[in-house]
């Protein structure tokens, strides 16, 4: 990105933003934010500031922005379901069946958010109700539920095109949320900015251990010292079930080096941008990231997320067993740092 040193507006306090690289104050005009230290420009398009330092692994930044612009041009005044259908209709190399599954998963996000918020409320974990950040908000399907609890809700994602969908869906619903494009491990917010930081199915998509650690560290950094928290949800590597991304039984039990050729052999796909964690590995990452209190439990899904009532009852009985955490399908972790 170019930076015109003859026109560096002076740095000012711009909401709770800071530079994602140096954490310094930014300057702003109507079209962009600027960091004078790093000589970087961060454009604002369709009301969404773009603080990314790295490409989305699935699409480069210019193509991502072009796709977002196309959605804005061709797809206004639609519900989230309509926007998702349009998105998959213009996305190549995804079979119709798979696209339908993606849409269904996204549309169940509201139910997942209800389960999470109910559990946090039952634990009396929610102290401040002013601000919530969702990292990896995707199409924004969890934001309406978060907005019922927190006054100011911000959704961050590295995919601009998904944020455009989130913004159009929010406009359609009359929902006032802020959407920001950024990498999860380089958040453009000042430290201690949010009462709550939530990340559903994000950490397993960080490329390697060091990115997962950087992600956890930055999520804790921006969560408030004053009774703030960082909540995350992630599939369990050691769940004795088919792998959630490739539907291969017990894939997570294999050493990481063997899982890659296995996926290539059985599915003809590259096993990349996914690194599932066990409960022990997740605990180590949170410790290393600086969490001083950590609670980990099997996901406490609400009944609505189960097709059968009997399955819901059996799951809830299992979830009360301490050892179930090691093999449960999805782990929830609630962490905070010292005040």
Interface with Zn ion (CB under 5 A): 19, 21-22, 24, 35, 37-38
CB 33 to Zn ion: min, Å: 10
Beta strands in 29-143 (DSSP E): 32-35, 40-45, 48-49, 131-135
CB 60 to Zn ion: min, Å: 23
Cβ count near 20 (within 10 Å): 22
Beta strands in the chain (DSSP E): 27-28, 32-35, 40-45, 48-49, 131-135, 152-157, 178-181, 196-200, 229-235, 293-298, 330-336
Cα separation, 126 vs 241, in Å, equals 32
CB 230 to Zn ion: min, Å: 24
Q: How many CA atoms lie within 13 A of 223 on its CB side?
A: 30
**CB nearer to Zn ion: pick between 24 and 290:** 24
CB 10 to Zn ion: min, Å: 14
Cβ-defined contacts of 79-83 (< 8 Å, 24+): 79/169, 79/172, 80/106, 80/107, 80/139, 80/140, 80/141, 80/165, 80/169, 80/172, 81/107, 83/139, 83/165, 83/168, 83/169
- Cα 23–25–30 angle (5° rounding)? 120
CB 14 to Zn ion: min, Å: 13
**CB nearer to Zn ion: pick between 51 and 332:** 51
Cα separation, 205 vs 199, in Å, equals 11
CB 187 to Zn ion: min, Å: 13
Token pair listed for 204: 């397993």
- Contact indicator for 129, 148 with CB cutoff of 8 Å: no
**CB nearer to Zn ion: pick between 35 and 335:** 35
**CB nearer to Zn ion: pick between 21 and 91:** 21
- Contact indicator for 61, 52 with CB cutoff of 8 Å: yes
Cα separation, 25 vs 223, in Å, equals 18
Token pair listed for 265: 């052999």
**CB nearer to Zn ion: pick between 35 and 222:** 35
What is the β-pairing status of strands 152-157 and 131-135?
A: parallel
**CB nearer to Zn ion: pick between 32 and 35:** 35
**CB nearer to Zn ion: pick between 52 and 283:** 52
CB 179 to Zn ion: min, Å: 22
**CB nearer to Zn ion: pick between 147 and 186:** 186
């Amino acid at each position: 990105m170019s930076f015109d040193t003859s026109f560096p507006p002076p740095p000012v306090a711009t909401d709770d933003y800071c530079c994602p690289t140096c954490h310094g104050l930014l300057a702003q005009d109507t079209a962009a934010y600027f960091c004078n230290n790093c000589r970087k420009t961060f454009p604002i398009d369709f009301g969404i500031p773009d603080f990314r330092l790295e490409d989305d692994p699935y699409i480069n930044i210019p193509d991502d922005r072009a796709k977002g612009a196309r959605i804005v041009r061709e797809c206004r005044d639609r519900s989230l379901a309509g926007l998702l259908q349009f998105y998959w209709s213009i996305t190549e190399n995804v079979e119709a069946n798979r696209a339908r599954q993606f849409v269904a998963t996204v549309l169940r996000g509201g139910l997942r958010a209800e389960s999470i918020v109910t559990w946090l409320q039952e634990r009396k974990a929610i102290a401040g109700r002013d601000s919530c950040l969702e990292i990896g908000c995707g199409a924004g399907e969890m934001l309406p539920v978060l907005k019922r609890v927190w006054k100011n809700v911000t959704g961050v994602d590295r995919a601009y095109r998904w944020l455009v969908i989130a913004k159009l869906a929010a406009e359609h619903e009359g929902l006032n949320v802020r959407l920001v494009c950024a990498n999860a491990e380089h958040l453009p917010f000042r430290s201690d900015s949010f009462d709550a930081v939530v990340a559903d199915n994000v950490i397993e998509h960080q490329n390697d251990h060091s990115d997962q650690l950087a992600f956890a560290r930055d999520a804790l950094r921006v969560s408030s010292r004053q009774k703030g928290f960082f909540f995350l949800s992630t599939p369990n590597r050691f769940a004795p079930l088919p792998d959630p991304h490739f539907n291969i039984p017990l894939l997570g039990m294999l050493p990481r080096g063997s899982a890659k050729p296995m996926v290539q052999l059985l599915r003809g796909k590259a096993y990349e941008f996914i690194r599932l964690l066990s409960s022990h590995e997740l605990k180590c990452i949170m410790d290393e990231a600086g969490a001083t209190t950590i609670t980990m439990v099997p996901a406490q899904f609400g009944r609505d997320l189960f097709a059968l009532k009997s399955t819901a009852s059996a799951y809830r009985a299992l979830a009360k067993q301490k050892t179930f955490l090691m093999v449960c399908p999805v782990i929830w972790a609630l962490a905070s740092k010292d005040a």
